[in-house]
Amino acid sequence: MLETCIGKLKLEKPGMVASGIMDETGASMVRMLESGAGAVVTKSIGLEPNAGHANPTFTEVKGGFVNAMGLPNPGIKMFKEEMNIAVPKGKIIGSIYGASADDFSKLAITMEEYGASAVELNLSCPHAKGYGMELGTDPKLVGSIVSAVKSAVKIPVWAKLTPNTHILTDIGVAVQDAGGDAVVAINTLKAMVISPEFAKPFLSNKFGGLSGPGIKSVGVRAVYDLGSVLDIPIIGVGGIADWRDAAQYIMAGASAFQIGSAIANKGPTIFDTINKDMIKFMRDFGYSSILDMVGVAHE
C-alpha cells in the first residue's frame, strides 16, 4: 500500500530521511533505514573535507529550528567507508554540493560508484558562501549543472530547490528541461536569530535556515506550485511531523516525502508511526496506493 515510485526508482515506503539529519555515518543511516525510512539521503558531501561553521550552529525558535551547520562533511573520498556500511542495507540517495557543474559531475560519478540509488543536488543550502542557493536561484546555472550531471551518471538525478526565490517554478522547469529526474522541495527558509541581551547575532555565521513546523505550509504551497507546471516527480520536504503533514505534501503533488527536524523530538520511530497512520487513513478514505493520492488537491 505504501510503495511509491519517483520516476523509475521504486520505494517500499514513501518517507525518506532528509539530507543533514542522522546521515553522516554509515551506522546512523542503517539505524534510520531500520526505523522504517524508505530511503536515506546522505549529508551533503563535497570534494574535500569540511568542518562547517563554528558553533553556535543551531538553536530552537518558535515554530522550529534555525541552523547554519555550513555543510560539514568528511569529503567524498572518505565517505566511501560510510556508503559501504549503509548501501547493502537499503536505498541511499547521495546528496552532493559543489561550486560548479564540474564539481557536481565528479561527485555524482563517485556516488554512483559507491552504490547510491540516486543523487540529490544541493542547490538550496542557504548558509554556505558560493554553494547551495547561491547557484540554485539562477535557472540557467541550474540547467547547466543538471544537464552536466545527467550526462555523467546513469542513476536518477534530483535537484533540491530553495524556497528563497520568487522564480521557484522557473527553476523547476529548468531542472525538467535539463533532463532532471525529480525535484525536491523545499530546503530551509533564510533566517536569523539575534540575542537581545548581547545585541549580537546568535549563529557564528549570523545567517541560517529555518526548518520545522513553521515552514510546512510554505513547503506545501511550493510543491503545489511546482506540481502545476512540472511533469517530473516531486519529493516534498519541510516541517513534516505526522501523517497529516505528509498527506498534504502528497496531495499537493509529491510522490514521496522527506523528514528532518521532527526526528529531534519524535525520534527515529517517526517513520514507523507515519507509515502505520498513513495506511489507516488510506483504508478509511479509499486510497489503494500512495500514487492514487499524488496531486489530488489539484483536481
Partner 1 sequence: MSDFVKIIGVNEEAYDTKTFEFQWDEKAIPGQFIMVWVPGMEEIPMSLSKTGRIKSITVKAIGASTRKLHELTIGDSLRIRGPYGKGFDLTKGKKILIIGGGVGTASVMPAIKESGADAIIGARTNKDVIMDDLGHKYAKNLWISTDDGSMGFHGNAVQLMREKVAENNYEIIIACGPEIMLYYIYQACVELNLDCQLSLERHMKCGAGICGCCVIDDQRVCKDGPVFTKEQISKMKDFGVQKRDECGRILKFR
Q: How far is the CB of 202 from partner 1 (least distance, A)?
A: 7
| 72 touches partner 1 (CB under 8 A) | yes
| 253 touches partner 1 (CB under 8 A) | no
Find out whether 137 and 161 touch, Cβ atoms under 8 Å: no
| 106 touches partner 1 (CB under 8 A) | no
- Total residues belonging to the chain: 299
Residue number, 24 or 134, with CB nearest to partner 1: 24
| 273 touches partner 1 (CB under 8 A) | no
What is the pairing mode between strands 234-237 and 254-259?
Answer: parallel
Among 178, 191, 263, 294, binds partner 1 (CB under 8 A): 263
Give the binding range for partner 1 (CB under 8 A) out of 52-60, 110-118, 215-223, 247-255.
52-60
Among 15, 16, 23, 243, binds partner 1 (CB under 8 A): 23
Residue number, 39 or 226, with CB nearest to partner 1: 39
Number of shown-chain residues binding partner 1 (CB under 8 A) = 43
Query: Distance (Å, rounded) from C-alpha 103 to C-alpha 44?
Result: 13
Show Cβ contacts of residue 53 under 8 Å, excluding neighbours closer than 6 positions.
68, 69, 70, 127, 203, 204, 205
E strands along 33-82, which residues?
A: 39-41, 58-61, 64-67
Q: Alpha carbon of 210 to those of 27, 122, 276: distances in Å? A: 27, 16, 28
Residues with catalytic annotation? 125
- Residue 85, SS3 per DSSP: helix
Instruction: Please state the φ and ψ torsions of residue 119, each to the nearest 5 degrees.
Output: -115, 145
Contact residues toward partner 1 (CB under 8 A) are 20-25, 27-28, 30-31, 43, 49-52, 54-60, 65, 67, 69, 72-75, 78, 81, 195, 197-198, 200, 202, 204, 260-261, 263-265, 267
